Amino acid sequence: MDRIIISDAEFSCIIGVGEAERSCRQPLFLDMELWMDLSKAAVSDSIKDTINYSTVCKKVGERIEGKSYKLIESVAEDAAQVILSDSKVFKARVLVKKPSAIKCAKHAAVEITRENSLA
């Protein structure tokens, strides 16, 4: 199956369990993979036969930046559900990286994979 890959899309939101973490917006970085059939788009060279990457990022960003979260697991689920709202997408993989989660690490991350019941 074909995949569209978006790497290190940056969004910010209120995220964290502790009060100090929730006092200001923090950056999150998302990698998103969208499994879909790209054969028609490859032949037609038309955006209508695929998904506009910019639109995907905009919709995911609107969802994430419009909410507050305690867990990056919830961020990943929300992003996957936004992606899967397009019936062209069979499966989505979302990796959410939180740079400020652990002092001794570059980031903490959660990865989920979800399949589309609409496809």
DSSP state of 96: E
What are 29-68's pLDDT values in tens digits?
A: 999 999 999 999 999 999 999 999 999 999 999 999 999 9
As a whole number of angstroms, the distance between CA 5 and CA 17 comes to: 30
Tallying the residues shown for the chain, one arrives at 119
Confidence of residue 119 (pLDDT cuts 50, 70, 90): low
Give the 3-state secondary structure of residue 73: helix
Q: Write down the pLDDT at residue 104.
A: 81
pLDDT at 26 over 70: yes
Give the domain ranges of the chain.
2-115
The answer to whether 70 and 21 have CB atoms below 8 angstroms apart is no
Determine the average pLDDT of the residues in 4-29. Answer: 94
What CATH number does the domain located at 2-115 have?
Answer: 3.30.1130.10
pTM over 0.85: yes
40 is catalytic: no
In the set 59, 67, 98, 103, the catalytic residue is 98
The answer to whether 52 and 6 have CB atoms below 8 angstroms apart is no
